[in-house]
């Protein structure tokens, strides 16, 4: 294929993600569902709260009997309701989360009560009130829509699903991933590298970024810069839904990922994207398998995994929104005008604004590891001054979509 000019970021993301569809639904125990995406709308199977409950510790009294004093006739504790109806002149000791006794319509807070033996009265600090009651079904009722299909199940959604009476959840399956490190200079032993070697770090970083979105990860390599070795590694990855390579994607004599993929029978869909770092990104398909050839420079590999691999995996895992979400932030540093490629600079969040990390080399891992965000600069973006708002992309914890 002829290379052609690098294609714009959004077009490349759209073309890549169009190769993927959400995987079929599977059922998982709700307690283990964090990180999965719902395959169906989630409906409440129960009402919460199931009865009127007290929101505070204190005394339940009738709504038509707010002056007191009252005789304390029993207790309603969480899990242990008071079994009888409340009469005028009576109060029931009640705790947070306990069912309001039949006939009760107000709660006197413990702090506002004076208790002497079996008698309780107001101490002058406040009256009994209905605002301390959580009404039956105020959060949700049986049959309500709790969450839409393709929502990510985070800790809060997981808790809601359980509260809604769902022991299991229908979620989309997750893709399997193979990650291939390639390059003669790569060592598997970071503690013992010769002068001509560097520790292989990209594969491990990519695997860590993808971990929560995939069913399994097969790490392969480091693979030698020889077509046969690359072919062997691709063959070893032939069960994976998605294959990622890093290194060997550029134009050097030893950049063999493209010819190896062609020889393996893959179709090169596109090569080179107008972003910096990350230009030599390559996308190929072989049947249903999708191959991403990431550039070898560690920051380029990270940035292309962030803007291409993670969206692809999210889409396959069922996400409704799979592209990284820019967060506009004021920038404390003036930025020079953009160039012919969209650029992603490293930035640090300081006092609610973003500050540029000057180091831009695409191999500079220390600058990347010290960054909170990537600062996005469009193609030909005008220079910006201190305080101008710029799009930022959170990169801690692999980023958010």
Ligand X SMILES: Nc1nc2c(c(=O)[nH]1)N[C@H]1C(S)=C(S)[C@@H](COP(=O)(O)OP(=O)(O)OC[C@H]3O[C@@H](n4cnc5c(N)ncnc54)[C@H](O)[C@@H]3O)O[C@H]1N2
The footprint of ligand X (CB under 6 A) covers 181, 183, 185-186, 198, 200-203, 246-252, 255, 277, 279-280, 295-298, 300, 362-363
**Stretch in the footprint of ligand MOO (CB under 6 A) among 45-53, 134-142, 146-154, 271-279:** 271-279
- DSSP annotation of 337: P
Q: Are 36 and 174 in contact (CB under 8 A)?
A: yes
Shortest distance, position 5 Cβ to ligand X, whole Å: 12
Question: Does 246 interact with ligand MOO (rule: CB under 6 A)?
Answer: no
Q: 101 to 140, contacts with ligand MOO by CB under 6 A?
A: none
d(CA 389, CA 215): 38
Assign 119 to helix, strand or coil: strand
- Candidates 278, 324, 376, 391; binder of ligand MOO (CB under 6 A) is 278
**Stretch in the footprint of ligand MOO (CB under 6 A) among 38-46, 157-165, 277-285, 392-400:** 277-285
Closest CA relative to residue 55, chosen from 7, 84, 15, 98: 98
- Candidates 300, 333, 384, 392; binder of ligand MOO (CB under 6 A) is 300
- Candidates 101, 295, 338, 391; binder of ligand MOO (CB under 6 A) is 295
Question: Does 324 interact with ligand MOO (rule: CB under 6 A)?
Answer: no
Q: Are 314 and 292 in contact (CB under 8 A)?
A: no
Q: Pick from ligand X, ligand MOO, none: which does 203 bind, CB < 5 to 8 A by kind?
A: ligand X
Structure tokens at 266: 């893959």
Q: Which is nearer to ligand X, 212 or 363 (CB)?
A: 363
Q: Which class for 2: exposed (0-12), middle (13-18), buried (19 or more C-beta within 10 A)?
A: exposed
Shortest distance, position 6 Cβ to ligand MOO, whole Å: 10
* Per-position x/- string for 167-186, each x denoting binding to ligand MOO as judged by CB under 6 A, each - no binding: --------------------
**Stretch in the footprint of ligand MOO (CB under 6 A) among 182-190, 261-269, 292-300, 318-326:** 292-300
**CB neighbours of 201 closer than 8 A, spacing ≥ 6?**
190, 298, 365
Q: How far is CA 40 from the centre of its chain?
A: 19
Structure tokens at 340: 């012919």
d(CA 316, CA 242): 10
Find the residue with minimal CB distance to ligand X: 296
Q: Which is nearer to ligand X, 72 or 198 (CB)?
A: 198
d(CA 144, CA 111): 37
Q: 342 to 371, contacts with ligand MOO by CB under 6 A?
A: 362
Strands (E), 9-63: 25-29, 42-43, 53-54, 58-61
Q: Are 331 and 21 in contact (CB under 8 A)?
A: no
d(CA 122, CA 70): 9
Q: Pick from ligand X, ligand MOO, none: which does 154 bind, CB < 5 to 8 A by kind?
A: none
Closest CA relative to residue 218, chosen from 182, 188, 186, 179: 179
Shortest distance, position 283 Cβ to ligand X, whole Å: 14
Q: Which is nearer to ligand MOO, 68 or 247 (CB)?
A: 247
Query: 399 forms bridges with which residues in the sheet?
Result: none
* Number of residues located near ligand MOO, criterion CB under 6 A: 8
- Candidates 93, 258, 279, 314; binder of ligand MOO (CB under 6 A) is 279
Number of other CB atoms surrounding residue 354 within 10 Å: 27
Structure tokens at 252: 């050097």
- Candidates 93, 276, 315, 346; binder of ligand MOO (CB under 6 A) is 276
Longest dimension (CA), the chain: 93
Q: Pick from ligand X, ligand MOO, none: which does 298 bind, CB < 5 to 8 A by kind?
A: ligand X
Question: Does 377 interact with ligand MOO (rule: CB under 6 A)?
Answer: no
Structure tokens at 398: 């692999």
Question: Does 297 interact with ligand MOO (rule: CB under 6 A)?
Answer: yes
Shortest distance, position 368 Cβ to ligand X, whole Å: 12
List contacts with ligand MOO (CB under 6 A): 276-279, 295, 297, 300, 362
């Amino acid at each position: 294929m002829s290379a052609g000019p690098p294609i714009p970021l959004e077009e490349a993301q759209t073309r890549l993600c169009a190769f993927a569809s959400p995987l079929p639904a599977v059922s998982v125990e709700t307690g283990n569902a964090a990180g999965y995406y719902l395959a169906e709308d989630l409906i409440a199977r129960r009402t919460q709260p199931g009865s009127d409950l007290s929101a505070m510790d204190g005394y339940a009294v009738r709504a038509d009997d707010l002056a007191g004093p009252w005789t304390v006739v029993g207790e309603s504790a969480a899990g242990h309701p008071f079994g009888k109806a409340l009469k005028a002149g009576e109060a029931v000791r009640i705790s947070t989360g306990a069912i309001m006794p039949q006939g009760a319509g107000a709660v006197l807070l413990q702090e506002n009560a004076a208790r002497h033996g079996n008698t309780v009265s107001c101490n002058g600090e406040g009256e009994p009130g209905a605002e301390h009651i959580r009404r039956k079904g105020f959060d949700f009722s049986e049959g309500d829509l709790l969450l839409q299909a393709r929502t990510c199940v985070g800790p809060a959604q997981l808790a809601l699903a359980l509260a809604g009476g769902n022991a299991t959840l229908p979620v989309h399956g997750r893709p399997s991933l193979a990650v291939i490190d390639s390059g003669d200079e790569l060592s598997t032993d970071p503690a013992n590298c010769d002068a001509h070697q560097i520790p292989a770090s990209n594969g491990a970083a990519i695997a860590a970024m993808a971990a929560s979105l995939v069913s399994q990860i097969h790490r392969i390599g480091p693979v030698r810069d020889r077509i046969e070795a690359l072919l062997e590694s691709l063959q070893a990855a032939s069960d994976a839904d998605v294959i990622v390579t890093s290194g060997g994607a550029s134009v050097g004599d030893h950049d063999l990922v493209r010819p190896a993929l062609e020889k393996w029978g893959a179709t090169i869909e596109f090569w080179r994207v107008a972003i910096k770092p990350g230009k030599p990104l390559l996308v190929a398909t072989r049947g249903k398998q999708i191959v991403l050839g990431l550039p070898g420079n560690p920051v380029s590999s990270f940035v292309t995994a962030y803007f291409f691999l993670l969206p692809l995996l999210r889409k396959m895992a069922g996400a409704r929104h799979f592209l990284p979400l820019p967060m506009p932030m004021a920038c404390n540093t003036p930025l020079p005008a953009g160039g012919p490629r969209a650029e992603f600079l490293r930035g640090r969040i300081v006092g609610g604004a973003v500050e540029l990390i000057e180091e831009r080399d695409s191999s500079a891992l220390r600058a990347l590891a010290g960054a909170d965000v990537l600062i996005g600069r469009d193609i030909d973006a005008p220079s910006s001054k201190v305080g101008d708002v710029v799009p930022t992309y959170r990169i801690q914890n692999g980023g958010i979509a």
